[in-house]
């Protein structure tokens, strides 16, 4: 499993904002997150895979949430 896959699965499992320091040198249920995992997470934000917010001196990451505010209902067939 690649580092990107491990990060995604880990964030999916937590299902909440995760501080960047919890992505560095961590053992997860999916594998080891190395010292460069926070950098990989930043790239994943640019790819649109995950979201990032900053609070004080830390960055937090989570799985990209679906915007349900403007979601239209499916079209009904006639």
Q: Confidence class of residue 77 from pLDDT cuts 50, 70 and 90?
A: low
Report the chain's terminal Cα–Cα distance, integer Å: 46
With a cut of 60, say whether residue 78 has pLDDT above it.
no
Instruction: Give, as one character, the DSSP assignment of residue 73.
Output: P
Assigned CATH for 3-63: 1.10.10.10
CA 40 to chain centre: 11
pLDDT greater than 70 at residue 24: yes
pLDDT of residue 26: 93
Q: What angle do CA 22, 25, 28 make, to 5 degrees?
A: 70
Q: Where are the domains of the chain?
A: 3-63
Residues 32-75: pLDDT tens digits? Answer: 999 999 999 999 999 999 999 999 889 999 999 876 566 666 66
- Provide the 8-state DSSP code for 22: G
């Amino acid at each position: 499993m690649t580092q990107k896959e491990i990060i995604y699965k880990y964030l999916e499992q937590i299902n909440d904002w995760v501080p960047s320091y919890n992505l560095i040198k961590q053992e997860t249920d999916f594998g080891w997150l190395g010292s460069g995992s926070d950098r990989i997470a930043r790239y994943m934000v640019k790819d649109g895979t995950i979201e990032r917010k900053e609070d004080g001196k830390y960055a937090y990451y989570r799985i990209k949430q679906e915007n349900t505010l403007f979601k239209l209902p499916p079209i009904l067939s006639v």
